[in-house]
A and B are shown apart, each in its own frame.
Chain A
């Protein structure tokens, strides 16, 4: 098989916020007022149904994360990193992507909010939380990478995907999520630098939630902002209110259009806040100032979009109840399926290589023999 290596097609960028202007001013881009009852910027040209779908997904993401947290406490699921407070930063960005072409590379907090790419993402994430090996398998052709634990390691992978699409002339971008802590990793700098050289179609989504476990942003960097780092790489870096789903959507759509037009990457810093602990294994009361967290209580991204939609007659109590019920049904179904999944006790030999080495074959046979002798189970 030979891949046809074609040039990137020309495309006209979509209207929206000017990335160059935001890059120059360092201004925090917003569409919705802080309480959501009004707008402070032009809402993106989006059908109402798509904005409603964003809120549905944000409601589901939070409910799913809350459930996975509780399941960990019950001993039924593994360590979970809750998304609480960051729903808009993920859902808004993903809403601007084309699942047919655009890759999404999550870190570990995002998979509950990738429903736009299909129900399989959350189903596989439930398996992942169960510790089942198939949790890492997002079925083809869904363009989502497995959860990444090593901070920023997925950023060079995004560049590789984007570079390949550029070479093939495919109309897609790679959208990679990472946090403020990961922005200190070498992988981020190496990938952003090379992406600038290649003018590769990458959208770098840095979700700045203020804390890397217990390390605040002030100890992460002395840079004026995380977006400002893009200047050194030769492409725009823009700050967006990460609790404003419409603003995140608008800058991501602009970054995507720019990338597809051959204009290269954009670094988006979505300024948000981690309302919960880093993970189920963390106690933020040890280090997060209570007054800081309290200040963010009034900026909830879900309440904000809900207020906006209610004001436009697109959401109400009944609609909320329906969203909650749909979320519960989705979560129940996915979790029940995950909890019912069994696993061959020697499955860790699968998929290490396309064909196992002779030594691994022997090891697997030995383990099977032992399992049969010791407890009567056999693969």
Chain B
């Protein structure tokens, strides 16, 4: 075990996976010479050379589109989209092509492609750098959607994603790259896709989150315990596709209450899917309506306003207290 930041864990995993499998290629904007704008791909060019670590033109569509062809020829592409907001410029290749390579070819082609992209707010980036688009990819059958919330998970989930025969959107929390820091197992470490993680056990309420919001949920749970005597169980979904329905249902059946957190706009976000699942599968265990804490139904705001947009500890604490009938 070594304490690492999330971006260090990602970087180490990319080194390990490229060393393990000569078919793995890393490419994207500024990933080679510059080592990535967040240094996630630092050192790969020196270690693996310019045939396997490639700076591409600034064209998201062809970054994803070439991954389709590379995969069909038996390679294992790990393209990077520099910021998830720019994935819209590749959306037709992600949703219409990469997601369906296996399906359109009726099983002839695997698509072992891991698309890495950072997203999320709180770092004062310009427009279109912070958008939380994860739910949009959930509506693209054929894609898996994986979002690590800890450095250890970043390693174990990324290694699993790269080895998976299907395309994975591997969405990394921009704000968490250096803020999230924890013990990361050394050597081979795989976290299976589709298994949620209990970050902190609790009895009164289940707080469900993913990516950077896991850290917000954990801090809120501390406040709830110390200041309000409430015991919150924090569940990190880790992947939205596949979804660990059993983990959600068994936790909510035990606690009887749930709050779901996301950074995306409220309407039709993935939190809505989680709430619907709870209503379908655990309704008779519920003691109170399920609450959502999310961004608002507006485009992601500019820097001076973003702190009021991204869910924070206060909003999560307030939502949990409401759900728990705790006087406010």
A and B form one complex: yes
Residues of A within 8 A of B (CB): 1-5, 133-140, 145-146, 150, 153, 155-165, 167-168, 174, 186-187, 190-191, 193-194, 197, 350-354, 357-359
* Additional 15 contacts, C-beta under 8 A, given A2-B23, A167-B25: A3-B22, A3-B23, A134-B106, A150-B97, A153-B97, A156-B61, A157-B97, A160-B70, A190-B62, A193-B59, A194-B57, A194-B62, A352-B102, A357-B243, A358-B243
Which residues from B are CB-within-8-Å of A163?
66, 69-70
- The residue among A160, A164, A357, A358 with the most chain B CB atoms within 10 A of its own CB is A160
Please, which residues of chain A bring their CB within 8 A of the CB of B21?
2
Q: Is B36 an interface residue when CB atoms closer than 8 A count as contact? A: no
Q: How far is the CA of A139 from the CA of B107 in the complex (A)?
A: 10
Please, could you name 23 A-B residue pairs with CB atoms under 8 Å apart, sorted by A?
A1-B23, A3-B23, A136-B104, A136-B105, A137-B105, A145-B105, A153-B97, A156-B61, A156-B69, A157-B66, A157-B68, A159-B69, A160-B66, A160-B72, A167-B75, A174-B69, A190-B59, A190-B61, A197-B57, A351-B106, A353-B142, A354-B102, A357-B243
User: Is there contact, CB below 8 Å, between B65 and A153?
Assistant: yes
Mask: chain B, 278-310; 1 = CB below 8 Å from A; 0 = not: 000000000000000000000000000000000
- Tell me, in angstroms, the Cα distance from A167 to B96 when the chains sit together: 26
- Is the Cβ of A187 less than 8 Å from the Cβ of B65? yes
Q: Which of B21, B23, B144 has the most CB of A within 10 A?
A: B23
Task: Specify which chain A residues have a CB less than 8 angstroms from the CB of B70 in the assembled complex.
Answer: 160-161, 163-164
User: Which of A3, A146, A153 contacts B93 (CB under 8 A)?
Assistant: A153
**Which of B96, B144, B164, B242 gathers most chain A CB within 10 Å?**
B242
Q: Is the CB of B93 within 8 A of A159?
A: no
CB proximity of B257 to chain A, nearest CB, Å:
24
A residues near B96, Cβ cutoff 8 Å = 150, 153
Alpha-carbon gap, A354 to B104, bound state (A) = 13
**Which of B23, B104, B144, B242 is A146 in contact with, Cβ under 8 Å?**
B104
A162, A353, A359 — which one has the most chain B CB atoms within 10 A of its CB? A353
- The prevalent SS among residues of A at the interface is helix
- CB < 8 Å: which of A137, A161, A194 contacts B108? A137
What chain A residues lie within 8 Å of B107 (beta carbons)? 137, 350-351
B88 within 8 A of A: no
Q: Contact between B103 and A351 (Cβ–Cβ < 8 Å)?
A: yes
For residue B52, CB closer than 8 A to chain A, the reply is: yes
Q: Is B275 an interface residue (CB 8 A)?
A: no
- CB neighbours of A353 from chain B (8 A): 102, 142, 144, 166
How far does the Cβ of B94 sit from chain A's closest Cβ, in whole Å? 11
Interface bits B153-173 vs A (CB < 8 Å: 1, else 0): 000000000001110000000
Given A137-B106, A160-B65, A160-B67, the answer on whether A150 and B92 have CB atoms closer than 8 Å is yes
Within 8 A of A (CB), among B91-146: 92-93, 96-97, 102-108, 110, 141-142, 144
Query: Is the CB–CB distance between A2 and B22 below 8 Å?
Result: yes
- Inter-subunit contact A157/B243 (CB<8 Å): no
B22 touches A5 (CB 8 A): yes
Given known A133-B106, A150-B96, contact A158–B69 (CB-CB < 8 A):
yes
**Measured CA separation A358–B243 after assembly (Å):** 8
Q: Which residues of A contact B52 (CB under 8 A)?
A: 5
Which B residues are CB-close (under 8 A) to A159?
Answer: 62, 65-66, 69
Distance between A84 CB and nearest chain B CB, rounded to angstroms: 26
State how many angstroms separate the Cβ of B73 from the closest Cβ of chain A. Answer: 3
The CA of A164 and the CA of B70, in the complex, are separated in Å by 5
Residue in B closest to A160 when the chains form the complex, CB atoms: B69
Q: In the complex the two chains form, is A191's CB within 8 Å of B62's CB?
A: yes
Q: Does B241 contact A (CB under 8 A)?
A: yes
For residues 27 through 80 of chain B, which have their beta carbon under 8 Å from a beta carbon of chain A? 51-52, 56-57, 59, 61-62, 64-75, 77
Does B245 have its Cβ within 8 Å of any Cβ on chain A? yes
- Cβ-neighbour of A5 out of B51, B56, B108, B242 (below 8 A): B51
Question: B256: CB under 8 A from chain A?
Answer: no
Contacting pair B22 A352 (CB below 8 A): no
Residue of A nearest to B60 (CB): A190
Given A3-B23, A133-B106, A167-B75, A357–B65 Cβ distance below 8 Å? no
- With a cutoff of 8 Å between Cβ atoms, the chain B residues found around residue A140 in the complex are 108
Considering the chains assembled together, what is the distance between the CA atoms of A351 and B62 in angstroms? Answer: 24
Residue numbers in B under 8 Å from A155 (CB-CB): 65
Any chain A CB within 8 A of the CB of B194?
Answer: yes
User: Which of A3, A156, A359 has most B Cβ within 10 Å?
Assistant: A156
Q: Please name all residues of chain A whose beta carbon is closer than 8 Å to the beta carbon of B164 when the two chains form the complex.
A: 354
Which residues of B have CB within 8 Å of A5? Answer: 22, 51-52
The reply to whether A160 and B71 form a contact with Cβ atoms under 8 Å apart is yes
Within the complex, what minimum Cβ distance (angstroms) separates B285 from chain A? 20
With A1-B23, A354-B110: A194-B56 Cβ-Cβ less than 8 Å: yes
A352 cross-chain contacts in B, Cβ below 8 A: 102-103, 141-142
With a cutoff of 8 Å between Cβ atoms, the chain B residues found around residue A160 in the complex are 65-73, 77
The answer to whether A358 and B66 touch across the interface, beta carbons within 8 angstroms, is: no
Contact of B51 among A133, A137, A167, A350 (CB under 8 A): A167
Write the nearest CB–CB distance from A39 to chain B, whole angstroms: 38
Q: What is the CA–CA distance of A136 and B104 in the complex, to the nearest angstrom? A: 6
B241 partner residues in chain A, CB cutoff 8 A: 357
Q: Complex formed: what's the CA distance from A133 to B107 in Å?
A: 10
Give the CA-CA distance A157 to B92 in the complex, in Å: 13
Using known A-B contacts A353-B142, A359-B243, determine if residue A136 contacts B106 with beta carbons closer than 8 Å: yes
| B245: contacting residue among A135, A174, A350, A358, CB under 8 A | A358
Assess the A359–B245 pair: CB atoms within 8 A.
Answer: yes
Q: Which of B22, B51, B72, B104 contacts A161 (CB 8 A)?
A: B72
A3 to chain B: which residues have CB within 8 Å? Answer: 22-23, 74-75
**Nearest chain A residue, comparing its CB with the CB of B22:** A2
| 9 closest Cβ pairs, A-B complex | A160-B69, A156-B65, A164-B73, A137-B106, A2-B22, A190-B62, A160-B66, A161-B69, A190-B59
- In the complex, what distance in Å separates the CA atom of A190 from the CA atom of B60? 9
